[in-house]
Each structure stands twice: as C-alpha cells, then as structure tokens.
Amino acid sequence: MSSDFEGYEQDFAVLTAEITSKIARVPRLPPDEKKQMVANVEKQLEEARELLEQMDLEVREIPPQSRGMYSNRMRSYKQEMGKLETDFKRSRIAYSDEVRNELLGDAGNSSENQRAHLLDNTERLERSSRRLEAGYQIAVETEQIGQEMLENLSHDREKIQRARDRLRDADANLGKSSRILTGMLRRIIQNRILLVILGIIVVIAILTAITFFVKGH
C-alpha cells in the first residue's frame, strides 16, 4: 500500500516541477507559443489533480494507526497544488495585462488597479476553496472514525455473544455433571445399605448356627 503511495508521490514531484518551470516561462512567450504552453500546463495540472485523488484513495486504505503521517503529507501536497494553480492564474493575468498595455499604450495603466483587484479576488477564492477542502477532509476523516467505531462495536457484540454462548454451555455441562454425581451418590448409598443388610443377615445366620450347635451338645 505505502509503495503505491510513494510511487504516486514521485510522479507528483516530477510533474509539479515541470509545471512550475513552464508557468515561469508563460509571460515571456510570444502569443502562439504562449497559447500552446497554457494548454499544456492545464493538461498537466489536471494530471496532478488525478494523482492527488489516487494518493488520497491510498491514504484512506492505510490503517488508522499509520495514517497520520500520510495525511500530513497529503495536506502539504494539496497546498502545493493550490499554489501552483494560483501562480498559473497570475502568470496568465500578467501576460494578458502586458498585451493589453502594448495595445492601449498609456491607457493601459488603468489596468493595474483592475489587475490588483482581480488578484485579490483570486486569492480570496483560493482561500475559500482551501477551507472547503479542509472541511471536506475533516468530514471524510470523521466518517472513517465513525465506521471504525461501528466495526469495533460489532466485534465487541460478537465477543459478548460468544461469551454468553460459552456460559450457557458451561451451565448446561454443570447441570449434567450435577445429575451424574447425584446418581452416583444415590447408587453408593444403595450399595452401602445392601452391604449393611447382608452383614446383618450373615451375623444372624452365624448366631443361629452357633445356637443350634450349642443345643445339640
């Protein structure tokens, strides 16, 4: 499981490094090359998002006692992904402003305020997106904890049920043993009574024989 996660990590590191390099080049490219580079970066950003989804799925399969370290790494990668997307948007905006200034000349100076306002709105959207993503992650982790608690309760219920079954079996065995012991005790008493009766009969017979023997003499 961790080997798959580490493989995705390596792919993500290589991909984000390429994206970072290309984003830095976007504002300096001519229009035709810039358009092609933007399309390429957008495709790679989508690939990076898919890698993050795969890594997130792998983390969910890791046992809870080992999941903390991977969850922290995932948060770092998601923050890095958000920064890449923000840098890409800024790079495109910077290039658009540069082209507009060249077309409008001095009139393009008014675009600085618009650019600043747009960047501010973009940053607010990014912060909101990160908060939503953090809330979603917390909800997912809470759901996982709830499922684990339900599973533990189910296991405990099964253990209690097995203990009750063993206790009933033990009670049944004790009852059977008690009946057997009672029967054995009854037979022992009967045998002793028979022995006493036989002893009395033997004594009477001996005394009778002695009496006849004495009278005969």
Map out the domains of the chain as residue ranges: 1-97+127-149
pLDDT of residue 112 exceeding 70 = no
Q: 34-90, pLDDT tens digit by residue?
A: 888 888 999 999 999 999 999 989 888 888 888 888 889 999 999 999 999 998 888
CATH level 2 (architecture), domain 1-97+127-149: Up-down Bundle (1.20)
Q: 3-46, pLDDT tens digit by residue?
A: 788 888 899 999 999 999 988 888 888 888 888 888 899 999 99
Tell me, what's the pLDDT at 51?
92
Q: Which one, of 143, 5, 9, lies nearest residue 66 by Cα?
A: 5
Confidence of residue 169 (pLDDT cuts 50, 70, 90): confident
pLDDT of residue 121 exceeding 70 = no
- Does the model's pTM come out above 0.75? no
Query: What is the rounded CA–CA span in Å between residue 203 and residue 199?
Result: 6
Q: Could you tell me what percent of the chain has a pLDDT over 90?
A: 19
| Helices and strands: H and E segment counts in the chain | 4, 0
Tell me, what's the pLDDT at 104?
47
pLDDT of residue 153 exceeding 80 = no
Q: CA 4 from chain center: how many Å? A: 17
Query: What is the rounded CA–CA span in Å between residue 113 and residue 91?
Result: 17
Structure tokens at 36: 């092609």
For the chain, give the mean pLDDT: 79
Crossing angle of the two packed helices 31-61 and 64-104, in degrees rounded to 10: 170
pLDDT of residue 208 exceeding 80 = yes
